[in-house]
Structure 1
Amino acid sequence: MATTTLHHFSAKTITSPTTITQFPENPKTLILQQCKTTKDLNQVHAHLIKTRLHLNPRFTENLLESAAILIPDTTMDYALSIFRNINEPDPSAYNVMIRAFTLKKSPQEALILYQKMHENSVQPDPFTFPCTLKACSRLRALTEGEQIHAQIVKSGFGSKVNNTLIHMYANCGKIEFACKVFDGTSKSDVFAWNSMLSGYVRSECWGEVLKLFDEMRDMGVGFDEVTLISVLTACGRLANIELGEWVHEYVETNGLKGSVNLVTSVVDMYAKCGYVDKARRLFEEMDRRDVVAWSAMISGYSQARKCKEVLDVFRDMQMAKVEPNEVTLVSVLSCCAVLGALETGKWVHFYVKKKRMELTVTLGTALMDFYAKCGLMESAIEVFNTMPFKNVFSWTVLIQGLANNGQGKRALDFYALMREKSIEPNDVTFIGVLSACSHAGLVDEGRGFFVSMSRDFGIDPRTEHYGCMVDILGRAGLIAEAYQFIKTMPIQPNAVIWRTLLASCRAHENVEIGEESLKNLVRLEPMHSGDYILLSNIYASVGRLEDAMRVRNQMREKGIKKTPGCSLIELDGEIYEFFAEDSVSPHSKEVYNAAEKMIKKIKSAGYKPNAADARLDAEEDDKEASVAHHSEKLAIALGLIKTRPGTTIRISKNLRVCSDCHNATKIISKVFSREIVVRDRNRFHHFKDGSCSCNDYW
């Protein structure tokens, strides 16, 4: 710490300490302006003691202010030692210490000192209350804040601290109290308006922000940069692009583009309103971009689900040598989770450890979610165990991650532990719990949890919960019961629920209910190609090939095109994207050669291509080649030639894995002695030694 501090001062400051001959009549000149380091302050302090001037409050309070606030390398212990040696400190001395504790993020100590001030019968002055209220605000200590408010009213200093009172009440979640204080404030005071606007922002009362701003303009109250930042924040949350563009035009017209904070807020507003290209152009025009500006751009791309762009901007941020903060890292981790970008996400985790960043609930949960969505549940659990605080969202991410990765029984063990710790589950927790029962084949347990959520926790089942129950019953082969469950649901079943039942019919070769499922799906989503393919596969599985072809022909006649498969693989921090029969990739020749060798090798191990999974318009002679060039096979082929033997290959896919690719990947894992993790639209598949974690049910 000392080395870092000395780096900021010249050699002259260090080697030539202040020489004291006689104190000026006004001690501020020497103590507050010339003392730059603790060494200077020690010399002044020694001289004060030697000359007994430390008994003069005028000298001691200036010394105290330097020690507590002005000199960066001093400690509060040193300031406290000065304070405790003051004989009967007056309000000014207390004010310095309360302000210092508040500034140095020790608000609890500030309130304790304020209490001692009262115990010692020292009357507060108008400067005592603002910092004390700020301490209450930081601690969200509403009771103490109300008590101080009463003391302010009694002392007659009310009008001088109204803005701080508004801030305190808003931060403590009592926006209605903040409004009452504001109503009693002079409406010509822009600081009062800004305090109220900031209060609404903290309470996420976005509509009230815009309403108050309209009122402000109607009354002709001049507004400033702080006002506009609050308004832009609300515009972003409400997607009010019209007012946001008005503010942007105002900033341009009035020459306010030099304010980094204000322009960053404009960038953030455009990004949150979905105008990420406009946000990017404005971002690129900025002369200076701090971590908040970079985070706003990254967060905007993340919310727009433009995950590759997030990683591109994040790399540019690193090149610019701007250190990311928690907001930046949470957005980056979210996109790494979507893309399966393991190496980039691991780098973020390493950065967090290296910088000794606090593993907050938000950051820790984002890290857990990233690892879970990359199929690394042990790493997710390690992060979970490291987090000092966990909330229901942290537990839910863990339970869902275990369920999706085929560890249903372990997920339920964590749910039991969660309940032991008296953490109340929410509706999303139960989606994870029911999914765990589904993947583990625990039908009776699933029924019990479905009843428990409303009976024990007052959570009304949503469509997702009903869908989970259909999946639980369908996976267990209870197709007729699942069908009846849908028919008796108190809410209208959506396409996802019927599609879940159709997938169960495919797994258990139930033609009759499969046909009924498709009828309902055609009514709800008539152009969804995957539904027709599922029924076609059911017909093919029971030998009704003509019916299978009839369904495929219906798709052609209706102009229904199969959604192109897309698979992603990350290698050395770079994301490679493949589409089925991709011929435009810069690696296509190399990949196709590798894929052909891979197919040839697994054929000798028993692999037989399934022509039914070929694209619909493929000629009979081309069907085998079509299947061989599915996107995940191309991605796996690149992984085989670009990674060391024994390395785990991780793929993310936009669709459900087809039966041919599932069968092929099982054999690839055995022939090439590789673990292959595929995350498809529905779940994770962990392939190893010729078998899959889904037990061939997906």
Structure 2
Amino acid sequence: MFANKHKPLVCLRQQISNAHRSTAICHLPPRPSINQIKQAHAHIIVSGHAGDSGLMGHLIAFLSVSPTTSFDYCLSLYQTVRCPSVFVFNNMIRCFAKSNSPFESIVLYSYMQRSFVRPNKHTFTFLLQACSKALAIKEGIQVHAHVMRLGFQEDVFIRNALIHFYSACCRFECSKQVFNEDAQWRDIITWNSMLTAYVRDGQISVAVKMFGEMQVKDVISWSTMIMGYVQNGLLEEGLECFKQMRERGTRPNEAILVTILSASAQLGLLGQGRLIHSTIDSLNFPITVPLGTALIDMYAKCGCIELSKLIFNNMPEKDIWSWNVMICGLASHGHAREALALFESFLSEGFCPVNVTFVGVLNACSRAGLVSEGRHYYKLMMENYGIEPEMEHYGCMVDLLARAGCIVEAAKMIETMVLKPDPVLWATLLGACKIHGHVELGEKIGSRLIQLDPTHDGHYVQLAGIYAKARKWDDVIRVRRLMTARSTNKIAGWSLIEVQGRVHRFIAGDREHEYSPEIYKMLEMIGSRIAEAGYSPNISPVLHDIGEEEKENAIKEHSERLAIAFGMLVTEVGDCIRIVKNLRVCEDCHDVSKIISKVFLREIIVRDGSRFHHFKEGKCSCLNYW
């Protein structure tokens, strides 16, 4: 029967051929296109068999597996069939399940019941697919009851469909109950369906345990586990899982490669990203649009914007997301003019920008202080493309205006925006008040932010920094004491560096690393050399109620300094040192990195919480604008 995806299609084709050798239906490929099916249909009409319900039923069967099923065409064929058999009903249910109206499958099944056509096991697999897509929990439970009543509960395909259905409807305990009912009736799809259910519910620890219990794992098992790790923020665990999969000899699929490239991109691990790229090449994977886009994103987020551009330019085909990723990548590296030129090329290619496109464009303007251009594109977004600003667009514009010194205009934008202002917007404005010395406005904004979120330590630190820069030490003490009294949640700063396939993480003042003594000796040597080159620590933002020497020590033990010192220890002379930092780099560390790049002839690339900094020959790519 054609409705059974596990029965060889050749048997059905032979049956059709034997019955109707004069027709073209037997020459259809396994998954024919709509046009191919219509050609066969036309041949049937011309040959005088238009009233043959059997042939119409087989056409519906081919439509049910066609990559592009036409809902209306399926329905028109079905309406020509007199007294539809279970075969016809099954394939129509399958067609509806694939369509944008999956609930019609349930309606058709109800009609099938009223027509006294007895369902078979294939009916329920297709019907449960429809219930999953439609999230029809009540109807799906009724279908489950029919399965039990008709004695199909031991069919492994139906059990798998039930597990998937309950998982899709977020009834994970029901999925678990079906899985545990009888261990005898399980296959690899059963295990994978349950594994997917746990991952979808965020029960990663349970999924890990189950994954370990699986005697047989296929590429779907590994894909589910890797995506589970990455989607739940366990990026390093996802990379380790990928490594284990390769050691077992399992060939990855495209979904795994895209996911694992995303993990490398988020962590900024160039070594891992390059390893995955070499895997793609060695396995002769074609650079499809999703894979090419993932590679562009990975190299951009790992500091290799030139490689991103190379891949982008060599892609045989690009979609809107390929362009968006490239525009955003150029923006994050401070290549504002290139990003804007690419956007104009994007438009000339006939693409229509979406929300994310303008986030990249406005971010490019913000990173380079291109105020007039930013205003132009912000207006273009709304007036020419009808895109209403979202929080990200407001964030870019507020950042652009505020850092360029247009503090009043930025504040007005926040106060008049349609959406409820995000505290991040006010925090951005507060940071700009510190840069431009707007103490009075900064005090108002800081107090407002503290009222909005009294547990966020960053607001107190920013406000204290404004007072410290203005040397208003009594106010610094007051804000710091208030922060302590309210037990704020401090975001710990960390820096990552990848060396020989291993990731090393540092926090400020870290002495837990295995090379800690050597790292601090290297810090002292670096300190001596840069002092000879004229470096003087910028300690003005540091708490005033500790000694000058303590202030200098507090700064020189920042996480990125430790990571740079470690990089100097373990890499070859002249090698580029790449650091990923979760917070914005401080002014003094920025100055130190520039001097180190000149004194030690090292290129240092830092991806902080704001952007990329390429330090080389005593200069930074951001031109001190970050």
Relative to the length of structure 2, the TM-score reads 0.88
1:173 equivalent in structure 2: 100
1:121-154 superposed Cα distances (whole Å, 9 cap, x missing partner): 5666737744664457533141xx6445434542
Please show how residues 409-424 of structure 1 align to structure 2 within 5 Å: 409-424=337-352
1:305 pairs with 2:233: yes
Of 75, 78, 88, which aligns to 1:161? 88
Task: Report the more deviating stretch, 454-463 or 633-642.
Answer: 454-463
- 2:575/2:602 contact within 8 Å kept: yes
1:21 equivalent in structure 2: none
Please show how residues 168-567 of structure 1 align to structure 2 within 5 Å: 168-186=95-113, 188-201=119-132, 204-205=133-134, 207-208=135-136, 210-219=137-146, 220-221=148-149, 222-223=152-153, 224-233=155-164, 235-236=166-167, 240=170, 243-256=171-184, 258-560=186-488, 562-567=490-495
Find the residue that maps to 2:311 and give its secondary structure.
helix
Q: Match for 2:501: what amino acid?
A: G
- 2:64/2:95 contact within 8 Å kept: yes
1:605 pairs with 2:536: no
Please show how residues 131-170 of structure 1 align to structure 2 within 5 Å: 133-134=61-62, 137-142=65-70, 146-147=72-73, 149-156=75-82, 158-159=84-85, 160-170=87-97
Q: Please report how far the alpha carbon of residue 192 of structure 1 lies from its aligned counterpart in structure 2 after TM superposition.
A: 2.3
1:57 equivalent in structure 2: none
1:317-364 superposed Cα distances (whole Å, 9 cap, x missing partner): 111111111121122111111111111112222222333324333333
1:679 pairs with 2:607: yes
1:462-502 superposed Cα distances (whole Å, 9 cap, x missing partner): 22222222112112111122122222223321210001101
1:697 pairs with 2:619: no
Find the residue that maps to 1:523 and give its secondary structure.
helix
Q: Match for 1:475: what amino acid?
A: R
Distance 2:157 2:406 in 1: 61
Distance 2:58 2:237 in 1: 44
Task: Report the more deviating stretch, 376-385 or 465-474.
Answer: 376-385
1:594 pairs with 2:522: yes
Q: Residues 496, 227 of structure 1: CA spacing in aligned structure 2 closer, same or farther, 3 A cutoff?
A: farther
Q: Please report how far the alpha carbon of residue 556 of structure 1 lies from its aligned counterpart in structure 2 after TM superposition.
A: 3.4
- 1:337/1:370 contact within 8 Å kept: yes
Distance 2:61 2:534 in 1: 75
Q: State the Cα RMSD in Å.
A: 3.1
Q: Residues 618, 292 of structure 1: CA spacing in aligned structure 2 closer, same or farther, 3 A cutoff?
A: farther
1:620-666 superposed Cα distances (whole Å, 9 cap, x missing partner): 54332232221111111122222223322221111111122111111
Of 504, 507, 516, which aligns to 1:579? 507
1:195-221 superposed Cα distances (whole Å, 9 cap, x missing partner): 1332354xx43x32x333211234445
1:668 pairs with 2:604: no
Q: Residues 150, 617 of structure 1: CA spacing in aligned structure 2 closer, same or farther, 3 A cutoff?
A: farther
Q: Match for 2:447: what amino acid?
A: K
Q: Residues 509, 110 of structure 1: CA spacing in aligned structure 2 closer, same or farther, 3 A cutoff?
A: same
- 1:607/1:664 contact within 8 Å kept: yes
Distance 1:519 1:194 in 2: 60
Distance 1:262 1:216 in 2: 19
Q: Residues 141, 106 of structure 1: CA spacing in aligned structure 2 closer, same or farther, 3 A cutoff?
A: closer
Distance 1:126 1:644 in 2: 74
Q: Match for 1:277: what amino acid?
A: S
Find the residue that maps to 1:567 and give its secondary structure.
strand
Give the unaligned 5+ runs of structure 1. 1-65, 71-78, 80-85
Find the residue that maps to 1:185 and give its secondary structure.
helix
Q: Match for 2:605: what amino acid?
A: V
1:265-319 superposed Cα distances (whole Å, 9 cap, x missing partner): 1112112211101100000000011110011111111111001111111111111
Q: Residues 231, 601 of structure 1: CA spacing in aligned structure 2 closer, same or farther, 3 A cutoff?
A: farther
Q: Please report how far the alpha carbon of residue 390 of structure 1 lies from its aligned counterpart in structure 2 after TM superposition.
A: 3.0
Distance 2:434 2:180 in 1: 60
Q: Match for 2:430: what amino acid?
A: L
Q: Match for 1:391: what amino acid?
A: D
Q: Residues 156, 356 of structure 1: CA spacing in aligned structure 2 closer, same or farther, 3 A cutoff?
A: farther
Relative to the length of structure 1, the TM-score reads 0.79
Distance 1:426 1:474 in 2: 25
Q: Match for 2:157: what amino acid?
A: V
Q: Match for 2:130: what amino acid?
A: G
1:97 pairs with 2:27: yes
Give the unaligned 5+ runs of structure 2. 1-7
Q: Residues 326, 406 of structure 1: CA spacing in aligned structure 2 closer, same or farther, 3 A cutoff?
A: same
Distance 1:612 1:164 in 2: 74
Q: Please report how far the alpha carbon of residue 92 of structure 1 lies from its aligned counterpart in structure 2 after TM superposition.
A: 8.5
Q: Match for 1:199: what amino acid?
A: A
Task: Report the more deviating stretch, 287-296 or 348-357.
Answer: 348-357
- 2:365/2:371 contact within 8 Å kept: yes
- 1:137/1:169 contact within 8 Å kept: no
Find the residue that maps to 2:595 and give its secondary structure.
helix
- 1:375/1:677 contact within 8 Å kept: yes
Q: Taking CA–CA contacts closer than 8 Å with sequence separation of 6 or more, which of the two structures ends up with the larger relative contact order? A: 2
Distance 1:236 1:631 in 2: 43
Distance 1:299 1:430 in 2: 28
Find the residue that maps to 1:568 and give its secondary structure.
strand
The percent identity for this pair of structures is: 35
Distance 1:299 1:615 in 2: 44
Q: Match for 2:530: what amino acid?
A: I
Q: Residues 321, 615 of structure 1: CA spacing in aligned structure 2 closer, same or farther, 3 A cutoff?
A: farther
